[in-house]
Amino acid sequence: MLIGIIGAGLAGLTAARELAKAGHETIVFEKSRGYGGRLSTRYSPDNSNVRYDHGAPFISGKDPRFMKLISELEAKNVVKLWCDRFSFHDGDILHNEHPNRPVTPIYAAENGMNAIGKYLSRWSDVRTNSKVIGFTYVGDKRTTKRAWMLNLESSEVVEVDALIIATPSVQTYGLIENSTDETMFKAVIKDLHGIYYRPKHSLMLSYDQAPVPAFNGMIVGNNPVITWVSNESSKRNNDGKTSLVVHSNGDFSKKRILNDVSDEVIASEMLVALRALLGDWAGRYDEMMIHRWRYSQPVNFFKANFVELGQDKAPVALIGDFLNGQTLEDAYISGYELAQHWASKL
């Protein structure tokens, strides 16, 4: 069976890999030029040896199925053990570890977190820069070979037997609105419309001459601007530069996005807050970039690992981190469980 998957994040790539292992042909359509979703790495435009994990900075989990994947990635040298705890800044003092976070293995990718997406993509036909703008369920009345027709922004039409939508709920909602028949989605349209995301900004900085922070990752509490600082230099050499990725507070980003504040102004505000945390040296950067994550993390979610609709032999399913969770582990389980379900019935 030919299965089309919209979205090359962790959920989509996991479903594609597991279904391919079960003998199905999978095609993944990704609107951007890279894959991995939040497993993203930005390269310095002037030096490709300098890399920033500006999305998810690490992976960690508890579910045995997810831990099995992490062990596989470690064995293939895709990820390595980074640390087992993070530092914590309470607003006044930097502590060596977070008082309420359990000690647990935390993994990072030396070549960048996007290496995880690259590894998972090997089992499927992944088509980047391929934006699906709508789809049509032809069903039993079809004269074409397959049950679903996907309409791409390039005007290309691709036919598949079954469809998986693995995009943030807001984008999923938009795709359904652009489909020719919303009938089968009526049961979930209202719930999809009720899913909200917390935005954030990722500020990427590198310094030719700067002290290397003593922490790997620092959780920031009681701060209206910053929630996290990642010491990228503790993951990789980065050509000898001190490199940081700073994540903004969700409420901070939401307010500024609503007020149409420019990313340049937001970066300046984040730098002021960072200097207060680390010292004046943090403002004397040699390179700076900023990225806006409009759909960084769902605030609420469906209480199911996946949603399946349509006919048994021509189904459509929704997967992702807004289904039964908010983390990378939840996204993986969503894609994995749907794939196991379809592998047993298709």
| Long-range contacts of the stretch 63-68 (C-beta < 8 A, 24+) | 63/329, 63/333, 65/332, 65/333, 65/336, 66/329, 66/332, 66/333
- Integer CA distances (angstroms), 124 to 5, 127, 159, 285, 340, in order: 10, 9, 16, 40, 16
What domains appear along the chain, each with residue ranges and CATH number?
A: 2-35+119-195+301-345 (3.50.50.60), 57-112+196-298 (3.90.660.10)
Tokens of 270: 């984040």
**Residue 53 CB neighbours (<10 A):** 25
Quick one: pLDDT at residue 179?
83
How far apart are the C-alpha atoms of 237 and 256, rounded to whole Å?
Answer: 34
Quick one: pLDDT at residue 140?
61
**Each residue's pLDDT tens digit, 235-272:** 999 999 999 999 999 999 999 999 999 999 999 999 99
Quick one: pLDDT at residue 47?
94
Identify the burial level of 329 via C-beta atoms within 10 angstroms of its C-beta, where 0-12 means exposed, 13-18 middle and 19 or more buried: buried
How far apart are the C-alpha atoms of 300 and 319, rounded to whole Å?
Answer: 15
How far apart are the C-alpha atoms of 77 and 48, rounded to whole Å?
Answer: 20
Give the residue ranges of the chain where pLDDT is below 70: 140-144, 182
Quick one: pLDDT at residue 321?
86
Quick one: pLDDT at residue 144?
63
Tokens 């420019």, residue located = 262
DSSP secondary structure, 27-54, as one string = EEE-SSSS-BTTS--EEPSS-TT-EE--
Tokens of 197: 């995301």
Sign of CA dihedral 260, 262, 267, 269: negative
**Each residue's pLDDT tens digit, 301-337:** 899 999 999 877 889 999 998 998 889 999 999 999 9
Beta-strand pair 197-207/242-248: antiparallel
Cα Rg of the chain (Å, integer): 21
Quick one: pLDDT at residue 143?
59
Can you give the pTM of this predicted structure? 0.94
Contact 134/128 with Cβ under 8 angstroms?
Answer: no
How far apart are the C-alpha atoms of 21 and 123, rounded to whole Å?
Answer: 8
